[in-house]
Amino acid sequence: MENVIRLAHGAGGKMMNDLIREVLAPPLDNDLLRQMADATVVQPGTWNLEPQTSNLRLAISTDSFTVRPLFFPGGDIGSLAVHGTVNDVSMAGARPLWLTAAFILEEGLEMETLERVVRSMAEAARRAGVLIVAGDTKVVERGHGDGIYINTTGIGVVMEGVEVGPDRARPGDVVLLSGTVGDHGIAVLSQREGLTFETELVSDSAPLNGLVEALLEAAPHTHCLRDPTRGGVAAALNELAGTSGVGIEIDESAIPIRPAVAAACEMLGFDPLTVANEGKLVAIVPPEEAEAALEAMRAHPLGQDAARIGTVTEEHPGLVLARTSIGGRRIVDMPLGELLPRIC
Amino acid sequence: MENVIRLAHGAGGKMMNDLIREVLAPPLDNDLLRQMADATVVQPGTWNLEPQTSNLRLAISTDSFTVRPLFFPGGDIGSLAVHGTVNDVSMAGARPLWLTAAFILEEGLEMETLERVVRSMAEAARRAGVLIVAGDTKVVERGHGDGIYINTTGIGVVMEGVEVGPDRARPGDVVLLSGTVGDHGIAVLSQREGLTFETELVSDSAPLNGLVEALLEAAPHTHCLRDPTRGGVAAALNELAGTSGVGIEIDESAIPIRPAVAAACEMLGFDPLTVANEGKLVAIVPPEEAEAALEAMRAHPLGQDAARIGTVTEEHPGLVLARTSIGGRRIVDMPLGELLPRIC
């Protein structure tokens, strides 16, 4: 472990995982935290809390948003802060209900900018069908923030009968991806760096709760759900393979990607599998429900480009392999984490 | 409303309230957010969520911590981040169960500092009997943070039969305060500014859930609970008077205060009623339960200096008046908010 924090410690890759596993998690350790999922499932009923308790399962997730710039094609920090947490809660097979919103504002921020961001949050919350139920406001001196940082924490109710978790992938399962990869990361990066491409690149930032409900109705025995944000599909699949103790094999040519994003990645030297998404999900489903799951996703506006991208294997547990377009196989590594700081 | 954000917008006083009421709350408006309490009470059962639901009431609160310096006499940002949210959840008459923890780290932060803060969080969580169940880590570039910012969001279960809320104070009710005022604010300020006093000033940062349980057992019809953090007792009482549409009259000489804090406030020109506390609560209870409430608090280690400080009146609704030691009366204003930035 390094002795100072570096940007890569927040980039969603191996360095961040090491920081969490070696520094942050051990002192705080408990059974619930150890779930290491996008959202943690808790049961008020297990707490011996008198007759008012029930078998209700809640999903809880927290995320701070530090994206730079605040506004980018297809979204802004406000809508992103709603979508990001709505999506994490949804990945537990839960219906997100309530969000909290906590702002760290930098002295000197234009009031108009704040107003615009809050309106965007409100619109995103309405669209996702969640309520923002509590808030907090802090202000830090000029040069100790960057305009606006937002934390959202989300609470949802796990749907009855649904059992998803990052440790539930089984050999033979099918790996599905709900749409094109890399749109968010490339859109934010190009805005930040002032890159212009022939086609405008737009973030995919969107609330996935509706898509998840449709998917789980069609494939109620879905094993894993993950939204490939920081670290992209590569990080999501590596985490699922590692936590479930299985191998994953994907077909590179099956990964949906917009030509403009592919071109930008090639120009910038990025592997699109490691670029962040904010409106996509990876689902691992038993083979007998794969077709129904895929159809349900494709019938939803946010899953039109959904594809079957691979399978879960007994071989090479913990490892993600890709069959390349020229017929070889390569290891899809967990990104180290130097790629794109402050993408969400 | 000003057209840029100023430090005072985060200081817990009138300017922050105006920002919340004019800019942040209107676009996000809903019945739950409108509770404007330390924690919001939600009921999964009201959501028409099939048989798994119940009459469970959850209390949710969020707070970002940006205190400067990170370590101060009696605490640090880690323990404060646990206590602050445990206390806010407790103020809904709830037993806090779960906390999330989201870190915004500044590039270059010493790993050792982070480790120390996380150990302190873990210790504080154990002491308070809550679990940290989910987390998040972001890293921002040097000069865009200040070492560590922490958001904690807490979820608790409202105790059966308990009905507390900022709108429930009634004329004739008794106002209780659980102990001395101003310890936290003065301790942090003196550490930050390098002030030295003959007596060491120590923050009162502590988890109040145990004290609240003892209080509610003795006085189950307690009407209001509030922890007087930013803006101090003055802000807490003004908010309760305003929300309940009642007057509050306090006896200045009944307010417990350490001599060293009183001396420091006098020297620095602060009204101790406006200085932040992190281990104190204000309770408004019906007169017939006041004595039992006071005894229960005094029997608890965190309530030994509890005092009856005033009463709720029908006159001057929305206004807090103090009888001064020389027999006059003064208005205890909502602080404007210029006082002590980044106190929590």
The predicted structure's pLDDT at residue B52: 43
Q: Give the closest residue to B154 by CA, choosing from A32, A60, A129.
A: A60
Angle, helices A111-128/A77-90, rounded to nearest 10 degrees: 30
Enclosing H/E stretch for B15: helix B14-19
Same domain for B215 and B141: no
In this predicted model, which residue has the larger pLDDT, B49 or B274?
B274
Same domain for B143 and B196: no
Q: Give the closest residue to B181 by CA, choosing from B250, B248, B237, B262.
A: B262
Write b or e for each residue in A217-256: b if 16 or more Cβ atoms lie within 10 A of its Cβ, otherwise e.
ebbbebbbbbbbbbbbbbbbbbbbbbbbebbbbbbbeebb
Q: Give the closest residue to B344 by CA, choosing from B87, B154, B139.
A: B87
Torsion-angle region of residue B231: left (phi > 0), alpha (psi -120 to 50) or beta? left
Kindly state whether residue A340 falls inside one of the protein's structural domains: no
Contact of A211 with A303, CB cutoff 8 Å: yes
Task: For residue A57, give both structure tokens.
Answer: 């399962």
- Looking at this predicted complex, what is its ipTM? 0.96
Same domain for B178 and B59: no
Same domain for A81 and A214: no
Contact of A28 with B118, CB cutoff 8 Å: yes
Same domain for A153 and A43: yes
Contact of B196 with B282, CB cutoff 8 Å: no
Q: Please report, for the domain that includes residue B109, its CATH number.
A: 3.30.1330.10
DSSP code, position B159: P
pLDDT digits (tens, 9 = 90+) for A217-276: 999 999 999 999 999 999 999 999 999 999 999 999 999 999 999 999 999 999 999 999
Residues of A in contact with B51 (CB under 8 A): 160
Enclosing H/E stretch for B122: helix B111-128
Q: Give the closest residue to A143 by CA, choosing from B338, B137, B142, B69.
A: B142
Q: Give the least confident one: A117-121, A294-298, B161-165.
A: B161-165
Contact of A162 with A222, CB cutoff 8 Å: yes
Same domain for B104 and B196: no
Kindly state whether residue B9 falls inside one of the protein's structural domains: no
Please count the residue pairs, one from chain A and one from chain B, whose beta carbons lie less than 8 angstroms apart.
Answer: 291
Same domain for B327 and B210: yes
Amino acid letter at A278? E
Write b or e for each residue in B88-125: b if 16 or more Cβ atoms lie within 10 A of its Cβ, otherwise e.
bbbbbbbbbbbbbbbbbbbbebebebbbebbbbbbebb
> Mean pLDDT, to the nearest integer, of A145-165?
95
Q: Which residue has the tokens 């969490």?
A: A20
The predicted structure's pLDDT at residue A45: 61
pLDDT at B131 > cutoff 60: yes
Radius of gyration of chain B (CA): 19
The predicted structure's pLDDT at residue B240: 97
Kindly state whether residue B201 falls inside one of the protein's structural domains: yes
Dihedrals φ, ψ of B185, to 5°? -60, -45
- Residue in A31, A100, A127 to test binding to B, most B beta-carbons within 10 Å: A100
Final residue belonging to a domain, choices B158, B185, B212 = B158
Kindly state whether residue B344 falls inside one of the protein's structural domains: no
pLDDT digits (tens, 9 = 90+) for A38-73: 999 998 764 445 444 467 889 999 999 999 999 999
Banded pLDDT at B46 (limits 50, 70, 90): very low
Q: Which residue of A has its CA nearest to B44?
A: A157
Q: Give the closest residue to B229 by CA, choosing from A137, A297, A269, A15.
A: A137
3-state secondary structure chain A: CCCECCHHHHCCCHHHHHHHHHHHHHHHCCCCHHHCCCCEEECHHHHCCCCCCCCCCEEEEEEEECCCCCEECCEEHHHHHHHHHHHHHHCCCEEEEEEEEEEEEECCCEHHHHHHHHHHHHHHHHHHCCEEEEEEEEEECCCCCCCEEEEEEEEEEECCCCCCCCCCCCCCCEEEECCCCCHHHHHHHHHHHCCCCCCCCCCCCCCCHHHHHHHHHHCCCCCEEECCCCCHHHHHHHHHHHHHCCEEEEEHHHCCCCHHHHHHHHHHCCCHHHCCCCCCCEEEECHHHHHHHHHHHHCCHHHCCCEEEEEEECCCCCCEEEECCCCCEEECCCCCCCCCCCCC
The overall average pLDDT reported for chain A is: 94
Instruction: Check if A153 contacts B (Cβ < 8 Å).
Output: yes
Q: Please report, for the domain that includes residue B180, its CATH number.
A: 3.90.650.10
Q: Which of residues 91-120 of B touch A (CB under 8 A)?
A: 95, 97-98, 100-112, 114-115, 118-119
> Mean pLDDT, to the nearest integer, of B201-223?
98
Residues of A in contact with B157 (CB under 8 A): 44, 47, 49, 52-53
Same domain for B271 and B203: yes
The predicted structure's pLDDT at residue A54: 62
In angstroms, rounded to a whole number, what is the distance separating the alpha carbons of residues A33 and A28? 8
Give how many domains chain A has, as a whole number: 2
Torsion-angle region of residue B50: left (phi > 0), alpha (psi -120 to 50) or beta? left
pLDDT at B49 > cutoff 60: no
Kindly state whether residue A56 falls inside one of the protein's structural domains: yes
Q: Which of residues 15-34 of B touch A (CB under 8 A)?
A: 16, 19-20, 23-25, 27-28, 30, 32-33
Kindly state whether residue B29 falls inside one of the protein's structural domains: no
Same domain for A178 and A327: yes
Final residue belonging to a domain, choices B131, B158, B185 = B158
- Residue in A104, A111, A136 to test binding to B, most B beta-carbons within 10 Å: A136
The predicted structure's pLDDT at residue B122: 97
The predicted structure's pLDDT at residue B12: 87
Residue B100 CA, chain-centre distance (Å), reads 18
Write b or e for each residue in A268-278: b if 16 or more Cβ atoms lie within 10 A of its Cβ, otherwise e.
eebbbbbbbbb
The predicted structure's pLDDT at residue B1: 79
Residues of A in contact with B125 (CB under 8 A): 28
Task: For residue B80, give both structure tokens.
Answer: 């404060």
In angstroms, rounded to a whole number, what is the distance separating the alpha carbons of residues B289 and B324? 26
Instruction: Check if A146 contacts B (Cβ < 8 Å).
Output: yes
B233 Cα to chain A: minimum distance (Å): 19
In angstroms, rounded to a whole number, what is the distance separating the alpha carbons of residues B234 and B182? 11
Beta bridge partners of A207: none
Kindly state whether residue B12 falls inside one of the protein's structural domains: no
pLDDT digits (tens, 9 = 90+) for B262-321: 999 999 999 999 999 999 999 999 999 999 999 999 999 999 999 999 999 999 999 999
Which residue in A66, A109, A122 is closest to B28 by CB distance? A122
Dihedrals φ, ψ of B103, to 5°? -105, 135
Which residue in B62, B95, B104 is closest to A134 by CB distance? B62
Same domain for B154 and B201: no
A229 Cα to chain B: minimum distance (Å): 13
pLDDT at A292 > cutoff 80: yes
Amino acid letter at B316? H
Contact of B169 with B224, CB cutoff 8 Å: yes
Final residue belonging to a domain, choices A123, A158, A193 = A158
Using DSSP, state whether B326 is helix, strand or coil: coil
Which residue in B7, B53, B133 is closest to A42 by CB distance? B133
Q: Which of residues 63-82 of B touch A (CB under 8 A)?
A: 63-66
Residues of B in contact with A33 (CB under 8 A): 131-135
- Cβ distance A115 to B139 less than 8 Å, yes or no, reads no
CA atoms in the 13 A half-sphere facing the CB of B279:
23
Range of the domain at B98: 38-158
Amino acid letter at B338? E
Same domain for A210 and A114: no
pLDDT digits (tens, 9 = 90+) for B177-211: 999 999 999 999 999 988 887 788 999 999 999 99
Beta bridge partners of B99: B132, B154
- Cβ distance B138 to A54 less than 8 Å, yes or no, reads no
In angstroms, rounded to a whole number, what is the distance separating the alpha carbons of residues A286 and A313? 12
Q: Give the closest residue to B183 by CA, choosing from B91, B298, B75, B320.
A: B75
pLDDT digits (tens, 9 = 90+) for A65-99: 999 999 999 999 999 999 999 999 999 999 999 99
- Cβ distance A66 to B135 less than 8 Å, yes or no, reads no
- Cβ distance A3 to B112 less than 8 Å, yes or no, reads yes
Same domain for B188 and B140: no
Kindly state whether residue A28 falls inside one of the protein's structural domains: no
Q: Which residue of A has its CA nearest to B151?
A: A151
Contact of A59 with A164, CB cutoff 8 Å: no
